[in-house]
Structure 1
Amino acid sequence: MTQSQFSKPLIYMLIGSAIILALSLGVRHAFGLYLVPMSHEFGWGHNVFSLAIALQNLIWGAVQPITGAFADKYGSKVVVTVGGILYAIGLLLMSVSSTGFMLNVSVGLILGLALSATSFPVLLSAVGRAAPPEKRSLAMGIASAAGSFGQFIMLPSTLLLLQNIGWSAALIVSAILIAFIVPLAWMLKAPMYVAPNSQTTSSAPALSFKQILNIAKAHKPFWFLSLGFMVCGFQVVFIGIHLPGYLIDHGFDATTGTVFLALVGLFNIFGTYGAGWLGGKFSKPKLLMGLYALRGITIIAFLALPLSTWTIYSFGVIMGLLWLSTVPLTNGIVANMFGIRYLSMLSGIVFFTHQVGSFFGGWLGGVNHDMTGNYQAVWMISIALSVLGVLVHFFVDEKAVVHE
């Protein structure tokens, strides 16, 4: 593999990863559209659906290091295959969930487990292992950007399904689409990149999960990075799940919220690719500081300006550029710190903090709405967390701790 091009196995892996991410994240990105119709049909408060989504994010994050460890040991294709099967089962169960308990089992438990095997930490780690260091951030950005296209496509498609066949049948259609992840997983076969004239990492003795965790535990910049990723999780899940309901509260229809989320997905393509490209040329921690600062400014402007379709869609465009741009940069820093051999496991640990933030962003949004009839307090928390996201990355150093 030369510095100017990717190898054929890596290209196949990029294609497979992109389609899997498009399906997995595209279906998940549309979950916010189900909050209102399911809550209305069963007489739930917003907190019932919000709790299920919050549990999903917490379970997803809690098992992500374990899922990552399995991917490091047995290969990504095996883990993604199992995840695709669980994902389809979870959606089918969600389609018949008529109680909060059933929703927690299907959306919270099963889909949380499935997403840990079919989303960024496992797939970007597989791409990162197969790419040379100078192209790693770009390769992750390409996979993230192409995967983001699914978020753009699935939102209007899901809205059409909801309007024409109802929420339950829409979930069955989504389950059929998700089933394609299983054959696509077998495209994840590119070998680990080994620099010319260097010894393979596989010749070194394997470290246990506990040993790797101890190395990470002793490295403070790793935990500052993790804290920053928690901010990301809170903000994207709160906005992704609750903004459609927020707009309905202010007199807009479901189409407006769908267009907003579709714009987020569309411009997320450019944001994640651009972040991956910039991450190969500039300091990743400084880029992350800029991203979190821009998020805070954008949220303040959205709340301060009169609410209109123009401000809503502008907010979608800008937030889309900033939405998952943190992912290739954060994963790239982890790879630089610790190398690529245990990348899925270590990325999973960082991602757990992201999902802790996601839990509170999803859950507190519902609680705040049911208690006050608005989302004002959670918007203020999101702004304060942007400041935290800027500050913690002052202490993130991406220098290598474990050499590849």
Structure 2
Amino acid sequence: MYPRNTAAPVIVAGALILSAAMGIRQTFGLFVDPIALERGISLSTIAMAIALHNLVWGLAQPFAGAAADRYGAAPVVGFGALAFAAGLALAANASTGFLLVIGMGLLVGVGVSCTTFAVVLTSVGRVATPERRSMAMGMASAGGSFGQFALVPAAQLVSEASGLSVALLALAILMVAVSPLGLMLDRRRGAAATGRPQFAYSLSDVLALACRHRGYILLTLGFFTCGFQLAFIATYLPGYLVLCNMPAGLGAMALALIGLFNMIGTWTCGWLGGRVRQQYVLGWLYFVRSLAIILFFFLPKTDASVLGFAAVMGLTWLGTVPLTSGLVAKIFGTEHLGTLFGICFLSHQIGSFLGAGIGGVVYDLTGSYTPLWIATALAGLVAALLHFPINDASVTPAPAAA
């Protein structure tokens, strides 16, 4: 058993870093229409920038996780925060689609990969005992959700009062301000935290084992859906509501409500993951999310239906993350957790790339988001079916020769 005060600072620091990084990227949906109107940049180009940051996030995540496994989280978080802030600053002053894609796409994608799940939750997972690991990850993720609740309306207010550029620069300053918290994430780790010896497993052996593990493959495939659904909704819900003749501010309120209920949802999922088999919780989570999407799409659009949809989506929003990372840790241990979860998360971000990118293209071609709403619902039902048969038995590879 580890001392309680060993885990608490890591959980708090991780929650604050996640709060800033995830909260900032959730504001991007608010800037889609203003960028198009003020800068004359097409919706397809803006969608491509947002989609690209999701893809770059996924592609860089295994490398960020591996760097944190090897060197610790602090230098990775510091580098990522600077890249994130540079991307926001460039987007704030971008006058062409190319500059927007480099800033909000490439640089933000690298920054998010270094300041979110594979780096932060891996540090949290290492200081928690196996029986409390899911709960600890859920607490960090829940705290991180505060950023979406707080930063979306704050960014909306700053943008309306001072303009798009000032809002993006303020978010860049915030990202730099939280970077020193990465030092707290390396209060760590080892046999005392995990309750078992930490063997020097060969990364190549563990990766080979993961690639042959049916449960890991199913988990990775299912995680694709989560990224597709969340990126589409976060990017296009505000604009979709305007098309439905709803007030423009309702979209920001809905995204903020998703963040508020996400705090409850991620904590609850982390708690359930310590008591119920995590793959079962994941399966039901995807099913409930898809059912909410179907009902929202077909029901009349009112303030009550929008806010009710946002609340349900918030309860299921990022609960997948502590459950998925906890399940990877349960099967393979924590020594290479950053790398293994990073690879799994790449699938999530490929889904995010398609969810954010295809939405703008489909709307430009058809003038409607209907095909994407149907696709998000069907994909969630498939993901639910993929998770129930996952085998979560621990796999212990042979330790590498000294």
Q: The TM-score by the shorter chain falls in which range?
A: over 0.9
Shift of residue 291 of structure 1?
Answer: 0.5
Shift of residue 274 of structure 1?
Answer: 0.1
Shift of residue 206 of structure 1?
Answer: 4.4
Shift of residue 380 of structure 1?
Answer: 0.9
Tell me the equivalent position of 1:249. 243
Tell me the equivalent position of 2:55. 58
Matches of 1:206 and 1:284 in 2, distance apart?
A: 25
- Give yes or no for the alignment of 1:155 onto 2:149: no
Pick one of 80, 84, 87 that aligns with 2:81. Answer: 84
Structure 1: segments with no counterpart, 5+ residues: none
Cα deviation per residue 1:295-345 (whole Å; 9 max; x = unaligned)?
111011101110111100000001000101111110110001100000000
Shift of residue 196 of structure 1?
Answer: 8.7
User: 2:334 is paired with a residue of what secondary structure?
Assistant: coil
**1:79 to 1:343, Cα distance in 2 relative to 1, 3 A:** same
Further displaced range: 266-275 or 364-373? 364-373
User: 1:8 is paired with a residue of what secondary structure?
Assistant: helix
Give the partner amino acid of 1:384: L
How many pairs does the alignment contain? 398
Tell me the equivalent position of 2:349. 355
Tell me the equivalent position of 2:370. 376
- 2:64–2:118 CA contact under 8 A, matched in 1: no
Give the partner amino acid of 2:213: H
Cα deviation per residue 1:242-274 (whole Å; 9 max; x = unaligned)?
000101112223210000000000000000000
Pick one of 9, 12, 19 that aligns with 1:12. Answer: 9
Matches of 1:45 and 1:104 in 2, distance apart?
A: 12
Percent identity of paired positions between Structure 1 and Structure 2 = 41
- 2:59–2:346 CA contact under 8 A, matched in 1: yes
- 1:66–1:345 CA contact under 8 A, matched in 2: yes
Give the partner amino acid of 2:49: A
User: 2:110 is paired with a residue of what secondary structure?
Assistant: helix
- Give yes or no for the alignment of 1:335 onto 2:329: yes
Matches of 2:197 and 2:177 in 1, distance apart?
A: 34
Structure 1 segment 376-395 matched on structure 2, within 5 A: 376-395=370-389
Cα deviation per residue 1:345-386 (whole Å; 9 max; x = unaligned)?
001001000000000000111111111111000111101101
Shift of residue 61 of structure 1?
Answer: 0.3
Tell me the equivalent position of 1:207. 202
Tell me the equivalent position of 1:103. 100
- 1:145–1:273 CA contact under 8 A, matched in 2: yes
- 1:29–1:155 CA contact under 8 A, matched in 2: yes
Give the partner amino acid of 1:360: L
**1:337 to 1:318, Cα distance in 2 relative to 1, 3 A:** same
User: 1:395 is paired with a residue of what secondary structure?
Assistant: coil
- 1:24–1:115 CA contact under 8 A, matched in 2: yes
- Give yes or no for the alignment of 1:290 onto 2:284: yes
Shift of residue 43 of structure 1?
Answer: 2.5
**1:199 to 1:362, Cα distance in 2 relative to 1, 3 A:** closer
Tell me the equivalent position of 1:221. 215
- Give yes or no for the alignment of 1:316 onto 2:313: no
Tell me the equivalent position of 2:178. 181
- TM-score normalised to the size of structure 1? 0.96
- 2:127–2:194 CA contact under 8 A, matched in 1: no
Cα deviation per residue 1:261-291 (whole Å; 9 max; x = unaligned)?
0000000000000000000000111111101
Tell me the equivalent position of 1:236. 230
Structure 2: segments with no counterpart, 5+ residues: none
- 1:81–1:181 CA contact under 8 A, matched in 2: no
- 1:131–1:193 CA contact under 8 A, matched in 2: no
- Give yes or no for the alignment of 1:49 onto 2:46: yes
Matches of 2:231 and 2:334 in 1, distance apart?
A: 28
**1:92 to 1:391, Cα distance in 2 relative to 1, 3 A:** same
- 1:46–1:369 CA contact under 8 A, matched in 2: no
- Give yes or no for the alignment of 1:281 onto 2:275: yes
Tell me the equivalent position of 2:18. 21
Further displaced range: 237-246 or 248-257? 248-257
- 1:71–1:344 CA contact under 8 A, matched in 2: yes
User: 2:145 is paired with a residue of what secondary structure?
Assistant: helix
Matches of 1:124 and 1:205 in 2, distance apart?
A: 21
- Give yes or no for the alignment of 1:190 onto 2:184: no
Cα deviation per residue 1:165-220 (whole Å; 9 max; x = unaligned)?
1111111111111111221111112221425997631xx33413x33321211111
Cα deviation per residue 1:82-134 (whole Å; 9 max; x = unaligned)?
11111111111111112111111111111100000001121011100111000
- 2:282–2:323 CA contact under 8 A, matched in 1: yes
Matches of 1:90 and 1:113 in 2, distance apart?
A: 9
- TM-score normalised to the size of structure 2? 0.96
- 2:128–2:194 CA contact under 8 A, matched in 1: no
User: 1:188 is paired with a residue of what secondary structure?
Assistant: helix
